[in-house]
Amino acid sequence: MAKSVTRIQTGVRVEKRLLKVLKGLAEYLDLSLGDLLEGIVLHSFEGKTAFSPETLRQIEQLKEVYGLDLTAEDSHRLKDAEND
């Protein structure tokens, strides 16, 4: 049975290439970006992977297409680029 939830609109800042990969993945999985993010976070909170091996392969392809070279190790060491 589906659980009823209250969703709110939020403004978050996300690295540009990461967002492109997320949007591409949401499209591939036929999900909204919000639904994809909710699923990733809920799986993460339980220490589970959110993706099948096939989906992980798709993510790798999208990362290559969009030039995303960031890893989990980079996650707490990112800084905004200087505006030129």
State pTM to two decimals. 0.89
Torsion of CA 42, 4, 36, 29, to 10 degrees: 130
Q: Is residue 53 part of a domain?
A: yes
Q: Is residue 77 part of a domain?
A: no
Whether the CB-CB separation of 40 and 48 falls below 8 Å is answered with: no
Q: Is residue 57 part of a domain?
A: yes
Q: What integer pLDDT is reported at residue 84 of this predicted model? A: 52
The total number of structural domains in the chain stands at 1
Q: Tell me the Ramachandran region of residue 7: left when phi exceeds 0, alpha when psi lies from -120 to 50, beta otherwise.
A: beta
Q: What integer pLDDT is reported at residue 82 of this predicted model? A: 80
Q: Which residues of 28-51 are buried (b: 16+ CB within 10 A; e: fewer)?
A: eeeeeeeebbeeeeeeeeeeeebb
Q: What integer pLDDT is reported at residue 71 of this predicted model? A: 95
What is the residue-level pLDDT of the chain in tens, covering all 84 positions?
999 999 999 999 999 999 999 999 999 999 999 999 999 999 999 999 999 999 999 999 999 999 999 999 999 999 998 865
Orientation of helix 33-45 relative to helix 16-29, angle to 10°: 100
Q: Is residue 7 part of a domain?
A: no
Domain containing 56: what range? 16-66
